[in-house]
Amino acid sequence: MPRKRRSPDMEDSDEDDEARHPQRNAANARERARMRVLSKAFCRLKTTLPWVPADTKLSKLDTLRLATSYIAHLRAVLMDQPVTPDQIHKHPLTL
């Protein structure tokens, strides 16, 4: 839903905005908090991956792909079986 444009003579402060749109502002705050939690979870996941240096910037998708490959590796180690090619994602990762 597009936002209505303000006319140039409408000089509203942030406090007026918060008073007029408390539900939207509360929803925005919840979404920002949710995204912070999600980003922290991805950072923690990345630090548990043994093949990734700590200063490496990975996308969320690359982090998930590496994590699934690592899980397949751990599963194979536990089962004392080699990892087959179909268990490893064939997506090239840029590190």
pLDDT in tens, 34-64: 999 999 999 999 999 998 888 889 999 999 9
67 part of a folded domain: yes
11-44 as b/e, with b when 16 or more CB fall inside 10 Å?
eeeeeeeeeeeeeeeeeeeeeeeeeeeeeeeeee
Q: Are 45 and 67 in contact (CB under 8 A)?
A: yes
Q: Which residue has the higher pLDDT, 8 or 84?
A: 84
73 part of a folded domain: yes
3 part of a folded domain: no
66 part of a folded domain: yes
10 part of a folded domain: no
42 part of a folded domain: yes
Q: The CATH number of the domain where 68 resides is what?
A: 4.10.280.10
Per the structure, how many domains does the chain have?
Answer: 1
Q: Is pTM, for the whole model, over 0.85?
A: no
Domain residues for the domain of 73 are 16-87
- pLDDT of 85 reads 67
